[in-house]
Structure 1
């Protein structure tokens, strides 16, 4: 059967390079949901066979990668083209030239809804993943916060996981979280809160972009005190205070006993000193002194009866 050149060209594009291994392949999801105004990442991977040369099989890298939509063979214009810097800047290529063809769409709009295809070209041939991935853009009005707990009240020290949900699957969407209107550092479809304290109490919301245009209704979290935990927390300082008081009383008792012993010893020493002084005074009083005074006549006449020896004083 004869085949015209145009038909042959189409078949080559569909099947890949002529005579090539069936390993020419592009893999992406069948469809992908994006919320208008959000940023989404479309996962993608590609493979191609080794080129057989005299020296053996050699793996060739892609030299050009292209993302297009509403264009079956990725001819101009394209949303991303590695060889064309004028492509739409909202579409960013996160992949490489070796097998990763992930595409990021920033701040999606309604017109971004389309079927996207990826094409890569080596120095030998090129290949387009004709199946493509269908991107659906929704308005995101049904953005909600769901919780891992059925009740809004959680005990202190517990944990909870909040999930931002919508009509789309959020595993590839950028999600911003807020508590009491203030942005949190955590990003992603799930917010994990553990070791809860009273500071975690408040209204939580999630948004699909930093402008808060697609924001969920608030979800209220109330963290209450765990009575058992509170009792243990209060008991520890009370026991510490009691032990401190007991130690102070023991220290005061020991100090008082030492002071009493020192005072008693001092009194004994003073009493001994007094006894020694009294004994010294008693010994000195036993000494006797005698004084004799003689009265004589001034004349040298012979003594007579009138001359009497007068003992004026005798002192013992």
Structure 2
């Protein structure tokens, strides 16, 4: 029965108890226990709140609770396994309930003599409030049984990072067991019925067994678990390393690309500057020079004209005719030259 079903059953029982008044409810009327294990008998009760006496309502209060073996009424001098009025109760029987609604009994270190029917009785400050549920709980004690391991997976070979849960159980399923887990004969710290393993690594390979903590004779048959060698690779670590390498490579490529772009830009700028100097030196000089004023332009024009005349005179002086001139002609030429020079002065 699942936890949800158990809660539903208890809720229904409490509603029923409220409807009919005085009740004692056992969720399970039959159960079994492995010898030397711990067994819990769940129980709840609803006492009678009051009774009618001579036409008036008299309130009731529970003053005593008892658990007995086999006796149907559990009253009077009947031996009890637990009696709230007694100081000589067997310590193996622990009352986990109270005097109001909870009557749960726990049996520790179950023995073969506990193979009985257990019944709960409540007693009030007036006999009208006494009540025993005769149905009781039938306990069956199993001796010499072996525990067994059930796996959450049908496979016994696993790969790294997988998970598996091992369950230590017996023929009795209606009680909680305190067990000891072993791996290759060495005790583990876990004491619950289930052992969760994962993420698996090669170190988890081995033979697992379990037994009742109070009875090592219940040791189960070994469950062999194998994790494939080399399969316990840390996937997140690999992903991180690969990502880091890719990031480094991309960063290096970007740096090289930026450097190449900068070098190319520098070369283009240098080439453009040299070409401008070669193709347009006069133009560059003319841009730098300050434009001349009109008076300066006129003076320059006159100086240019004088320079032209001087060049012509100089050319005439240096010119040598191919044929020898006569003396008369030489005198005439010298007069022309002299007149030219005189006009310059």
Coarse TM-score class (shorter-chain normalised): 0.5 to 0.7
Q: How does 1:1-316 map to 2 (within 5 A)?
A: 22-28=20-26, 29-51=28-50, 60-74=60-74, 75-124=77-126, 125-169=129-173, 171-180=174-183, 181-188=186-193, 190-224=194-228, 233-241=237-245, 243-244=247-248, 247=251
Residues 277-315 of structure 1 show CA distances to partners (whole Å, capped at 9, x for unaligned) of: xxxxxxxxxxxxxxxxxxxxxxxxxxxxxxxxxxxxxxx
Measured in 2, the distance between the counterparts of 1:205 and 1:63 equals 47
Measured in 2, the distance between the counterparts of 1:154 and 1:59 equals 66
CA contact (8 A) 1:117 1:133 kept: yes
Question: Aligned pair in 2 of structure 1 residues 228, 138: CA closer, same or farther (>3 Å)?
Answer: closer
Measured in 1, the distance between the counterparts of 2:21 and 2:141 equals 32
Please give the secondary structure, in 2, of the residue aligned with 1:86: coil
Please give the secondary structure, in 2, of the residue aligned with 1:97: coil
The alpha-carbon deviation at position 230 of structure 1 amounts to 5.3
Counterpart position of 1:262: none
Measured in 2, the distance between the counterparts of 1:116 and 1:178 equals 32
CA contact (8 A) 1:207 1:214 kept: yes
Please give the secondary structure, in 2, of the residue aligned with 1:172: coil
Name the one with the larger helix percent. 2
The alpha-carbon deviation at position 197 of structure 1 amounts to 3.8
Aligned residue pairs, count:
241
Question: Aligned pair in 2 of structure 1 residues 248, 211: CA closer, same or farther (>3 Å)?
Answer: farther
Question: Aligned pair in 2 of structure 1 residues 241, 210: CA closer, same or farther (>3 Å)?
Answer: farther
The alpha-carbon deviation at position 251 of structure 1 amounts to 7.0
Measured in 1, the distance between the counterparts of 2:200 and 2:231 equals 15
CA contact (8 A) 2:163 2:197 kept: yes
CA contact (8 A) 2:180 2:213 kept: no
CA contact (8 A) 2:144 2:217 kept: no
Runs of at least 5 residues in structure 2 that lack an aligned partner in the other structure: 1-18, 263-345
Normalising by structure 1, we get a TM-score of 0.63
Measured in 2, the distance between the counterparts of 1:223 and 1:151 equals 11
Please give the secondary structure, in 2, of the residue aligned with 1:236: helix
Normalising by structure 2, we get a TM-score of 0.58
Runs of at least 5 residues in structure 1 that lack an aligned partner in the other structure: 1-20, 259-316
The alpha-carbon deviation at position 69 of structure 1 amounts to 0.6
Measured in 2, the distance between the counterparts of 1:60 and 1:204 equals 56
Q: Structure 1 stretch 63-72 or stretch 150-159: which is displaced more? A: 150-159
